[in-house]
Structure 1
Amino acid sequence: MPVEIDESNQRCTLIGDKLRIEGLGPEIEIFTDEQLRMSVAVLAGERIPITEAEADALTVIGAVDSRRHLKSSAPGSVI
């Protein structure tokens, strides 16, 4: 699991292949990566792919939710 959350102080750790970065929930922004077809958490310029459950958990501690829903019926959609 690439996300560890401490709800008591709104701190979390994002874990990548070669990276561990810590920060406060409000410092994180969650985006939809159209190419990966999944959510990505961004902290201090570092991008970590995450599950939707992890994205939802990060929003609970104050992360900025900038996700968009991808639709197969939308013109130019990647799905």
Structure 2
Amino acid sequence: MLEQIDKDKTCHIKTLNGTKLRPASELVIITDPDKAMSAVEINGDLVYLTEAEVDALTGAGATDKRKHLKATDSGSVI
């Protein structure tokens, strides 16, 4: 969960092991095909994001590598 983005574009991401700080430019947003949700990997853990959080992160400089799943894609829940 995204907690906040500082003026210097440091992102505060809440994980199972506490809040982690990362520059937005180091974050890569992906799609977890099993859950059909957007996520970012922090220290090997996936942190799931809402689309509003994704918009905020990409606006701050995170890389968007999400895949839009289709019903014909392998692993699609559609």
TM-score under structure 1 length normalisation: 0.82
**Deviation at 1:75?**
4.3
Tell me if the contact between 1:12 and 1:22 (Cα under 8 Å) persists in the aligned partners.
Answer: yes
- Asked if the contact 1:38/1:49 (under 8 Å) is kept, the reply is yes
> 1:6-46 deviations in whole A, cap 9, x for unaligned?
35110111102333211100111100001111001123443
The residue identity in structure 2 corresponding to 1:35 is D
- C-alpha contact (below 8 Å) 1:27/1:43 kept by paired residues: no
User: Which residue number in structure 1 is paired with residue 62 of structure 2?
Assistant: 63
Gaps of 5+ in 1: none
**Could you tell me the percent identity over the aligned residues?**
35
Q: Does 1:51 align with 2:31?
A: no
Structure 2: runs of 5 or more not aligned: none
Q: What SS does the corresponding residue of 1:41 show, helix, strand or coil?
A: strand
Aligned residues: 77
**TM-score normalised to the size of structure 2?**
0.83
**Partner SS for 1:4:** strand
- Structure 1 ranges of 4+ moved more than 3 A: 43-46
